Amino acid sequence: MTIVVIARWLALPLLAVALVVACDDGEGGDDSAEPLRIGYLADRSGSLAELGDVISVGVELAVQHINEAGGVLGRDVELLFGDTKVNPTQGVEEARRLVDVEGVQAMVGAISSTVTLAVTESVIGPSGVVMITPSASSPALSTSNDNDFLFRSAPSDVAKGVVLAALAEEEGLDNVGLLYRDDAYGQGSAEVFIDNFPGNVTAASYSALGQPTYLAELQQAASGGADLLVVIAFPGEAEVFLRESIENEVFTKFVFADATRSESLAAMIGPEHLEGMKGTAPGSSAQEPSTAAWNRAYIAQFGEEPARAYVREGYDAVIAIALAAEAAGSTDSAAIRDQLRNVVQPPGRTVLAGPEGVAAALEAVRSGEEIDYDGAASPLDWNATGDLQTGFVEIWEYRGGKIVPIESRPFDLR
């Protein structure tokens, strides 16, 4: 048996994923069938590198569970990686390399909304390669020129921004400052927040290219008399302006959007400065059977549930692609796209996340049975634009430098 190891970067040494291809062994499926090759397009070295590494754990865990269950069409799934550096040009170049050189038939990514939008309109739509983003949340993606090849396994800001506005209101506030990243992610999140917050919002944006100081923008956000700042930013930038805000006593109280749900950020700022402050992020409910099954499998492998959001969403993206390919009987990207909604919605036998659930799902599809995969994070009930119609948004809090989930609120956009 010949083993070919696929080039990759591993997010955590605890996760040993068999990303290999078994060749010429006379076993398994049709040797002429092309293996399913999935590209993971994420930030590896920019301001979202921490998040890219975290999501990779869910992506690689999904590949492990699929390959342990016999792979797709009798072949192990291959996983390849591309580094976007949170740069749209770099993201497009890496996406083209994955498609044109590496021959991936599907992608998970990108991580940021701006890169996802650029990749979608330059590569995904024109090339007809299906992509599921586990984290990009801008409403602009819903109207992108994707030819129905872009899906999300995480909620849009149409859902998350509403909960963020409700959280700020519930904190007893009717006047807030808002500082947001001037890109697709920040603009979309800010717009939804402003539209849904019933009080006064004094907003300021900052350059997505980064700045040495954010004092002018902080002062602008404080000019309406608010003493709390709503933060829509990436962790690397937030570290700079949160410290600057605290040291200059512009704002010392904050409410955070999803990208700043980071224990590393709290450690760098000083846990005491963020104690008791809350934020939102994509969530899940342990009361859902699929989430509970996935949580048990994750804890068995890693010892505890993931501390960051989007791990489950990365897992779900890979599983949905694999099940769709198996249902299509093909690794052709258009065929995968055409089956994506079918394998995650009724009618069909409900199947769950986790190794046992994935194995049962693949076996059911191989037997010609219709399935309804309920994801680890959400039911994956995609609408006509590939957006989630239902799911959960988590409310969390910094306590002693740790992220403590408070509740998961369901949303329904149907």
pLDDT of residue 70: 98
* Angle ∠(325,141,191) on CA atoms, nearest 5: 150
pLDDT of residue 28: 39
Torsion of CA 290, 296, 297, 301, to 10 degrees: 150
Give tens-digit pLDDT for 159-214. 999 999 999 999 888 999 999 999 999 999 999 999 999 999 999 999 988 899 99
Give tens-digit pLDDT for 305-358. 998 889 999 999 999 999 999 999 999 999 999 999 999 999 999 999 999 999
Specify which residues 152 forms β-bridges with: 133
pLDDT of residue 210: 83
pLDDT of residue 209: 87
Q: What is the pTM of this model?
A: 0.91
Give tens-digit pLDDT for 15-61. 444 344 333 333 334 434 689 999 999 998 888 888 999 999 999 99
Torsion of CA 9, 13, 19, 25, to 10 degrees: 140
Distance CA 173, CA 175 (A): 6
pLDDT of residue 33: 67
pLDDT of residue 47: 82
Torsion of CA 32, 34, 35, 40, to 10 degrees: 170
Q: What is the mean pLDDT of the chain?
A: 92
pLDDT of residue 352: 98
Give tens-digit pLDDT for 66-76. 999 999 999 99
pLDDT at 9 > cutoff 70: no
Both structure tokens of 405: 């989930």
- Express as a percent the part of the chain with pLDDT over 90: 86
Query: In which order are the strands placed within the sheet that holds 37-42?
Result: 78-83, 37-42, 106-109, 130-133, 150-152
Positions of E strands within 237-333: 253-256, 278-283
Distance CA 108, CA 121 (A): 16
* Residues 6 or more apart whose Cβ sits within 8 Å of residue 251: 177, 218, 221, 222, 226, 227, 228, 229, 245
Phi (first) and psi of residue 133, to 5 degrees: -90, 130
Query: Regarding predicted confidence, which is higher, 27 or 401?
Result: 401
Give tens-digit pLDDT for 190-201. 999 999 999 999
Both structure tokens of 59: 């992506």
* Angle ∠(409,186,167) on CA atoms, nearest 5: 30
Residue 97 DSSP label: I
Burial track 259-271 (b if 16+ CB lie within 10 A, e otherwise): bbbbeebbebbee
Residue 251 near residue 219 (C-beta atoms within 8 A): no
Give tens-digit pLDDT for 117-156. 999 999 999 999 999 999 999 999 999 999 999 999 999 9
Both structure tokens of 35: 């293996």
Distance CA 356, CA 320 (A): 15
Going by pLDDT thresholds of 50, 70 and 90, the confidence category of residue 1 is very low
- Give the residue-averaged pLDDT of 401-405: 94
